[in-house]
Amino acid sequence: MALEDAKNEVDGAFTRKDLKGLSFENTFGGATSFLRRRYTKDLSGVDIAVTGIPFDQAVTNRPGTRLGPRAIREASSLQSPDAPYGWGYSPLDEFAVVDYGDMAFDYADIPSFPGRVTEHIKGILDAGAASVVLGGDHYISFPILKAYAEKFGPMSLIQFDAHSDTWADDDFSRVDHGTMFYKAVKSGLVDPKTSVQIGIRTDNPDTLGVNIIDAREVHETGPAAVAKKAREIVGDRPVYLSFDIDGLDPSAAPGTGTPVWGGLSSGQAAIILRDLAGINLKGGDIVEVSPPFDTTGATAIAGAHVAMELICLWGWTRRGG
C-alpha cells in the first residue's frame, strides 16, 4: 500500500484530506511541512499543533536559530512514512497533528515579541490543542510557559540542556536566552521542587531549587535511571518539556549557538525521552537548532526526532487500547 501511495502522493502539506495517517510521498521532494502534516490555521478537531517560532535575537553567542524551524521541518520528512521506533503505537494514526506554520511577528519590534508568543500559544491551547514548538532560541520558552501556566497552573519543567538558564536577571523586560527560567521560577510559572534539568554541564551556583541531573550523572548512572528519577520528581503534575539541542554533545549536534563538550549522546537522549512515558505532558519545545553551523544536517535530524518524541509522549497517556 505504501508503495502505491508513494507513486501518487505529493505536497501532502497542502493536498492531504485527513489529519491522521502516515505519509508516503518521496522524502526528498514535495513541500516540507513537519512530518508531512497538513499546513492549516484551522484548529478544529486538532490534537497537536506543531508551530515554528523563528526568533534568535536573544542569543549570547552564535545566531542562526531563526532558521531552525525550516531545517527541522525538512529533516522530519525522513520520519513521515513510519511509526516511531520503540513506542508500540503510531501517534500520527491515532491523533490529529497539523503544522500550524510559523508565528508572525515584527523582527524589529523586540518589546512586543514576548506578548505575541504568549498570545500565539494561548490561541492553540484555547482551541483545545497542545503545542509542540520548533525554535528559535531558548528565550521563547518563557512566554510559552506563561500561556501554559495560565491554563494549567504552575508547571513542572523537564529541561534538557547544557546550561541551567537560571542566571539572575530581575529586569523582566530583557530578552535573554540564559535567564528565562530564572524569570519563570520567580514569576511562579514553574514549580522548582518538581522540576528537573538534565544534561547540565556549566556552572551556576544558584539553581533556585530546581533538581539537577548533570551530564556526568547521566553518563555514570545511565539513561534509564535518569528517566526513572525524572519521573519521580515530576510525579503526576502537569509537565512542560523543553529540549535545548545543546543538551546533546557537539559531536551529535554541532549546529547550535553555545556548544559545550561532554554532553548526552543521541542514544542516551532517546532512551530518556522514551522512558519518560507516562508523565502528564501538556506541551513542549525543541530549541537552539542553528542550521548555519549544521554542516551535515545531524542537528536538524536530532531536533526532528525530539519533536516526534514529544508527540509520542503527549499521546502515550491518551492513546487508544
Residue ranges for the known binding site are: 138, 161, 163, 165, 244, 246
**Residue numbers belonging to the annotated binding site for Mn(2+):** 138, 161, 163, 165, 244, 246
Look at phi and psi of residue 89 and say left if phi exceeds 0, alpha if psi is from -120 to 50, else beta: beta
| List of residues 6+ apart from 207 with CB closer than 8 A | 164, 166, 192, 197
**Residues paired with residue 158 on neighbouring β-strands, in sequence order:** 196, 241
* Inter-axis angle of helices 113-126 and 141-152, nearest 10: 40
Nearest-CA neighbor of 314 among 92, 52, 7, 165?
92
**What is the three-class DSSP state of 193?**
helix
**Burial of 301 per CB tally in 10 Å (0-12, 13-18, 19+):** buried
Amino acid at 301: I
Look at phi and psi of residue 10 and say left if phi exceeds 0, alpha if psi is from -120 to 50, else beta: beta
